Structure 1
Amino acid sequence: MKNVNIFKSGGILTALLISGGLMAQEPQSGTDYVKPFQPEAFRTWSIGVNGGAMYLGSFFGQDDYKGRKTEFGYGAYVKKQILPSFGLQADYFRGKLSANTSHLNGQDQAGPNASFSTDLHWAASISGNFTFANINFRQRQSVIQPYATVGAGMAEYRPTYTSTAGATTVSHNIPELIIPVGAGVKFRVTDGVNLDLGYKVTFVNSDNIDGYTRGVNDKYSYAHAGLEFALGDNRKPQLASHNIVSDIERDYSGRYDQLKSELDEQKQKNQQLEDKFNKTLVDTDKDGVVDLFDKCPGTPAGTAVDGSGCPLPERKPDVKVYITEEDKKVVAEAIKNLEFDFAKATIRESSFASLTRVADLLKSKNFSLKLAGHTDDVGSAASNTKLSKARAESVKQFLVSRGANASRIEATGYGEDQPIASNKTEEGRQQNRRVEFTLF
């Protein structure tokens, strides 16, 4: 009974270690990041050795004998970790079982045997090992790894028992099917070594391991301590203790920071281009010709100027002119060929020829022209209005640079407010990105 109390106390202490460890895990140094979905970056094979106390029955009760003894057992295993939370484990074990009190468990009367001693020559099994608590956003590597195992295998043992009359019987070697079920906790000592504390109950598919048969299959327990050694490159982390979810989170954060940095850099470049473009549209004397093309800066307010910003000679009476179909074709051709650089107000060279013909038309017939810039709805309304105005101004400055009268050209930007097609399709958005020419 004294030994039973010792092992019950030990089991309670192990439970406290597990619960306390789960509440106070601390990350260790070493390799703590692996690019997600790289199985070759981990150590997945390991070996372990252990030793400890074994006895008939389980932590929750005895089998056929009250006076069971605590004996020594030892074992070893090879494990292949397949997933962070699951692995396959091949175990080898041997030990001894014995009892020296003849009274049957749960009954007052003595059984037919006074004592027994069974040599467990060997036990071999294959088990699934389920690891818990290693998926944690706060720790890159789990320091404590609670686990559970269940498997199946074979054992060979030979009981020796003494009857109440004093006769000793040595049985033959008996092979039998076993079902081992266990639980425990591993403490990561270093990147490649774990301290293993566990408890296992092995269910035997017979009722003769203690030399006495009463119709209820026997079982025995093994409480052990041992060491597990990870095999392979010591620069790689163990898969069983590594936090895959944390790797994914860190990889996402890194990609987000990189993209944000690139976006900020692009915004800065765009701002520089916008500032440079705005400087080219400055018209200090407000005569309708930007300073870049103004050959007569400082013209008094209200003075009519030509395309170079110089005062026009005294204006002759207007001669009434008519817009012909040919004139309309010139304007339509210019609209059709008008192209800008993407998201900019820079006119492409392919549009120069048709715009030059419009400038010639304005000069020869003294027409007035209204330019109306429009955009699709991609982007903010404020930026679209600004872009449409800038594009209309660019067309005006081009025509003025070819000799057209700046005072007869009006440039207005309407942004995305006046679509002529649906903005839900690329074709519709292309139609909405336009500059309209109106002769009068």
Structure 2
Amino acid sequence: MNYSTLKKTAALSFASLLVAGMASAQTDSTKTGSAKLFGGIGQYNTFSIGASVGVTSALVPFSINSTNKFKASLGYGVSLRQQLSHTFSLQLDYLGGKIKGTDKAGTNKYGFTDFETTYNAGSLSGVFNIASVSFLHRENAVNFYGSAGLGLDFYKPKSYTRAVDGLVYPPYPKTVKELYAPVGVGVKFKLSDALALNFGYTISFVQGYNFQGFKTYPHQNRYSYSYGGLEYTFGPSSKKNLEWVNPVAQMYDELYDAALRAEVEALKGRVTNVETAVNDLKKDSDGDGVADQFDKCPGTAAGSVVDGSGCVIVFPKPAADSVVAKPTAYSNIQFEFDSSVLRTSSYPVLDATSADLRASGKGVEVDGFASSEGTAAHNMSLSKDRANSVKTYLVNSGVDAKKVKIKGYGETMPIADNSTEEGRVLNRRVQFKQK
């Protein structure tokens, strides 16, 4: 493919892309589609083709240049790109054209005053969107980007010296092949969701010393390409172009999605129902310490002593002329339903038991028991806790801890019928076994 054919091909591609972009611009670019924030890349259009034309130059900023006068030439390019995320894409590039250079004063820095090089280059680059998220606009309309890549540059240089006897050419009859690294920056303007206007500047660093047709060692060659062009993104109009999607706006839309908000409100209602049910379980209308759902005797008078089912415990009244007996040591200690907390009414028996143990120096075994409600494993644990409560009281009152042993028997060895509440009350106990 000669230089003239390349120019015609680039021009035809550019014109075709412009027509396609104008047609695309007629479509609705405000569709949001059904893309979800973490729904994957398949929700978007990601493949793009671009064409560009521009000006090439042998003069590169911040570099040691082989010639000193700007001499513009035509450059052109075609690209194929896939957007892999909001901020990163991979791009294949073809660049072609001519590079010209001249020393305005004829200084012959490297032995020649002028050169002209025809080149065709291909590379793979990573493109980084610098401003892919906008906090000021719902839809991005301008993207700044940077790129860097690596490829092969096929070029045919020639150089000459301005002299009275004509042109002097170096021996470069064949095309030279070298590695090169294109590095660039640019800005892209959104014309529609599928079409963008692109302006950029790229410096190509050639891994060689003869791009200008004369040896420039130890300074490697480089040239620049300033361009403008169009880029078209393929795909159905129902999908958004990933490059222009603003993830901040997308997240906002998802949070305020009607279906999601309805689901949140439904969840709030379920939580409220659970809280109401829990409060109902804890409700104790008569204040006797037994929840309504377990209270078999609702409406007991305030201050009444009740058992685990909420019924008043009736104690026989002593005769008027009787003498109240002193609490008997080692009597059984009774407990409330599913509780290992000592009743205050147990303190006199425990105090008498403590006094006898401290005076006699004897040991004692404290055996805990439970009624038959609940599982056997739970009742076994509860009976041990009850025995421990009694031991703790005795030890705190001065009894040697080594003299007090505990055992739990759970719901085994009942002393009353577990099928009646009166029997179950008696079975919730601790017994003493003197040693």
Q: For the superposition of Structure 1 and Structure 2, which TM-score range results when normalised by the shorter chain?
A: 0.5 to 0.7
In structure 2, the residue matched to 1:304 is: none
CA distance in 2, matches of 1:159, 1:258: 70
Q: Deviations over 1:167-187 (max 9, x none)?
A: 332622111111100011111
Structure 1: unaligned runs, 5 residues or longer:
1-27, 275-340, 348-369, 376-387, 400-405, 413-417, 432-436
> Match of 1:248?
251
Which of 227, 231, 234 is matched with 2:234 structurally? Answer: 231
Number of the residue aligned with 2:177 = 175
Structure-1 separation of matches of 2:293 and 2:176:
99
Asked whether 1:258 is paired with 2:262, we answer: yes
Distance in 2 of aligned mates of 1:157 and 1:346: 88
Q: CA deviation at 1:85?
A: 1.1
CA contact (8 A) 2:66 2:109 kept: no
Residue identity in the other structure for 2:133: I
SS at match of 2:241: coil
List aligned pairs for 1:27-426, cutoff 5 A: 29-31=30-32, 34-38=35-39, 39-60=41-62, 63-101=65-103, 103=105, 111-120=110-119, 122-165=120-163, 166-169=166-169, 171=172, 172-215=174-217, 216-254=219-257, 257-262=261-266, 265=269, 343-344=279-280, 388=291, 391=292, 395-396=296-297, 420=339
1:59, 1:221 within 8 Å by CA — same for their partners in 2? Answer: no
- Aligned with 2:103: secondary structure? coil
Counterpart CA distance in 2 for 1:192 and 1:86 is 18
Displacement, 1:140?
4.2
Cα-to-partner distance string for 1:235-288 (whole Å, 9 max, x where unaligned): 2111222233443344345487335522565588799xx8xxxxxxxxxxxxxx
Q: How far 1:161 moved relative to its partner? A: 1.6
- What's the offset of the Cα at 1:224? 0.6
What amino acid maps onto 1:167 in structure 2? L
Query: What letter matches 2:38 in structure 1?
Result: F
Q: Is the 8 A contact 1:193 1:230 kept in 2?
A: yes
The total of aligned residue pairs comes to: 282
Worse-matched range after superposition: 259-268 or 215-224: 259-268
State the one-letter code of the partner of 1:88.
L
Give distance in 1, aligned partners of 2:125 and 2:112. 34
Using the alignment, how far apart are the partners of 2:111 and 2:202 within structure 1? 29
Separation in structure 1 between the aligned mates of residue 115 and residue 151 of structure 2, nearest angstrom: 24
Give me the TM-score of the superposition, normalised by structure 1: 0.55
Q: Structure 1's 219 and 346: CA in aligned 2 closer, same or farther, altered over 3 A?
A: closer
CA–CA distance in structure 1, aligned partners of residues 161 and 60 of structure 2: 24
TM superposition shift of 1:137: 4.7
Unaligned runs of 5+ in 2: 1-28, 305-335, 342-377, 383-420, 426-435
The Cα of 1:36 is off from its aligned counterpart by: 1.9
Aligned partners of 1:116 and 1:267: how far apart in 2?
Answer: 80
2:251 counterpart SS class: helix
Q: Per-residue CA shift, 1:197-219, capped at 9, x if unaligned?
A: 11000001112111222311110
After TM superposition, give the deviation of residue 76 of structure 1 in Å. Answer: 0.5
SS at match of 1:232: coil
SS at match of 2:266: helix
Match of 1:367 in 2: none
User: 2:216, 2:274 → 1: CA distance?
Assistant: 89
Structure 1 residues 342 and 157: CA distance shift in structure 2, 3 A? same
> Residue 154 of structure 1: CA displacement?
0.6
| Higher alpha-carbon deviation: 260-269 or 38-47 | 260-269
Change in 2 beyond 3 A, CA 1:196/1:343: same
Deviation at residue 342 of structure 1 after TM alignment = 5.9
| Secondary structure of 1:168 counterpart | coil
8 Å contact from structure 2 (residues 67, 113) kept in 1: no
Structure 2 partner of 1:306: none
Alignment partner, residue 17 of structure 1: none
**Secondary structure of residue in 2 paired with 1:251:** helix
**Secondary structure, in 3 states, of the residue corresponding to 2:90?**
strand
Flag the 1:131–1:81 CA change in 2: closer, same or farther, 3 A.
Answer: same
Looking at structure 2, the residues matched to 346 and 113 of structure 1 have their Cα atoms a distance apart, in angstroms, of: 100
State the SS of the aligned residue for 1:240: helix
8 Å contact kept, 2:130–2:145: yes
Shift of 1:33: 6.4
Instruction: From the superposition, tell whether residues 206 and 421 of structure 1 become closer, same or farther in structure 2 (CA, over 3 Å).
Output: farther
CA distance in 2, matches of 1:373, 1:146: 74
Q: How far apart are the structure 2 equivalents of 1:185 and 1:192?
A: 16
| Aligned equivalents of 1:43, 1:213: Cα separation in 2 | 47
8 Å contact from structure 1 (residues 30, 191) kept in 2: no
**1:253/1:205 CA distance change after superposition, 3 Å:** same
Q: Secondary structure of the residue that 1:225 maps to in structure 2? A: strand
TM-score, normalising length from structure 2?
0.55
Identity %: 24
